[in-house]
């Protein structure tokens, strides 16, 4: 409305200026020709200024409208649906907000869809999410207050992660996931212990996650510290010393002398630690029942900080071959021999 008013004022001033400039001089008027021309010029300048102001206001309002246009709400707030365009029903909810009843209804719908997803689908979504991250195409979705409300009463993550507490490894960001998508357990050296194991068991048996991901990373300080002489490790605090000694016990240094490159040696140590944690998980018969039933995949991964790429290098899945290994998997756990088989 303000823009229209400015355009109207500009038009009237321009008409006035034109009329003043073309009007014949009145011999009886006290205004001389100079004042007459000045009045016309002032009206012309005012009209042009009003027109410019109207144009600027119009452009600014257009830009603000574009910037304030909300991200189109997906038909569902599940990770698999964020690329979908908003449905008519959701757009209506967006305009007036969700009631608690509607939020709970959406939560129930999301929970059901999460249960229907196969483990391999979840694993592929993690691979795709990481690809978006390291190629610079991450969506990093920011859910609305209404969608957050749907998570108040219930969570339904599809993935549980045992990762390192290193600040350079933000798990949800690395896999381009949103709120409620991942159940993350982080501890120095991604090392299993009573509390971390209990957290993963809760995610597996109560939250019904489809993938358990054990992920180490490039340049892990806990792995490097675990290679120090035992005397130095024992000088640390009791809790830290216990973790480092546990990691150290699983690192076999006998074959590392053949690896000359420092980064390759670092990667092998981290991968070795990841395999050790997975071998502890698969000793749990209840967890393996989930795996053998095709309801769970356990995956070992290595995150390269320098590139942002996650390499899924180990997989524990249903042994009948119905689940194909993900691209890049170099080793698998054989439940019969209880050994890790390398490709």
- Residue 220 marked in a binding site: yes
Neighbour count for residue 121 (Cβ, 10 Å): 13
- Residue 217 marked in a binding site: yes
What is residue 98's DSSP assignment?
Answer: -
**Which stretches of the chain are DSSP H helices?**
2-22, 33-67, 88-96, 100-116, 119-134, 145-149, 171-174, 194-205, 221-226, 230-234, 238-249, 262-281, 285-292
Structure token pair of residue 260: 């000359």
What CA–CA distance (Å, rounded) separates 234 from 169? 27
Buried b (16+ CB within 10 A) or exposed e, 152-187: eeebbbbbbbbbbebeebebeebbbbbbbbbbbbbb
Strands of 339-342's sheet, edge to edge? 182-186, 159-163, 211-217, 297-303, 310-316, 331-334, 339-342
What is residue 183's DSSP assignment?
Answer: E
- Residue 320 marked in a binding site: no
Which run of H or E residues covers position 214?
strand 211-217
- Residue 191 marked in a binding site: no
Q: With helix as H, strand as E and coil as C, how does 256-283 read?
A: HHHCCCHHHHHHHHHHHHHHHHHHHHCC
Give the HSE-up count for residue 332: Cα atoms under 13 Å, Cβ half-sphere. Answer: 18
Q: Give Cα separations from 40 to 145, 234, 285 (angstroms).
A: 57, 93, 95
Annotated binding site for Zn(2+): 164, 166, 217, 220
Annotated binding site: 164, 166, 217, 220
């Amino acid at each position: 409305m303000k823009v229209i008013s400015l355009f109207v004022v500009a038009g009237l001033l321009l008409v006035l200026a034109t009329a003043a400039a073309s009007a014949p001089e009145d011999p009886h008027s006290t205004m001389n020709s100079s004042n007459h021309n000045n009045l016309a010029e002032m009206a012309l300048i005012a009209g042009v200024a009003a027109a410019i102001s109207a144009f600027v206001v119009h452009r600014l309002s257009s830009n603000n409208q574009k910037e304030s246009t909300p991200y189109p709400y997906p038909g569902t707030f599940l990770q698999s649906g964020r690329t979908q365009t908003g449905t008519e029903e959701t757009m209506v909810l967006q305009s007036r907000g969700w009631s608690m009843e509607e939020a709970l209804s959406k939560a129930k719908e999301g929970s059901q869809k999460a249960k229907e997803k196969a483990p391999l689908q979840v694993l592929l979504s993690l691979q795709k999410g990481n690809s978006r991250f390291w190629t610079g195409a991450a969506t990093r979705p920011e859910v609305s207050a209404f969608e957050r409300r749907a998570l108040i009463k219930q969570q339904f993550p599809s993935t549980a992660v045992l990762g390192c507490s290193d600040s350079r490894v933000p798990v949800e960001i690395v896999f381009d996931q949103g709120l409620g998508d991942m159940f993350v357990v982080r501890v120095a050296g991604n090392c299993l212990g009573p509390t971390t194991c209990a957290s993963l068991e809760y995610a597996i048996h109560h939250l019904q996650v489809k993938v358990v991901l054990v992920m180490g990373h490039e340049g892990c300080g806990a792995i490097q510290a675990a290679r120090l002489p035992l005397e130095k490790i024992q000088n640390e605090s009791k809790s830290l010393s216990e973790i480092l000694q546990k990691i150290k016990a699983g690192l076999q240094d006998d074959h590392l002398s053949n690896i000359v490159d420092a980064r390759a040696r670092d990667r092998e140590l981290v991968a070795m630690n990841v395999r050790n944690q997975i071998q502890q998980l698969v000793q749990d018969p209840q967890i393996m029942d989930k795996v053998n039933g095709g309801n769970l995949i356990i995956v070992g991964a290595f995150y390269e900080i320098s590139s942002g790429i996650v390499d899924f290098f180990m997989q524990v899945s249903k042994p009948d071959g119905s689940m194909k290994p993900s691209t890049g998997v170099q080793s698998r756990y054989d439940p019969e021999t209880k050994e890790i088989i390398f490709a």
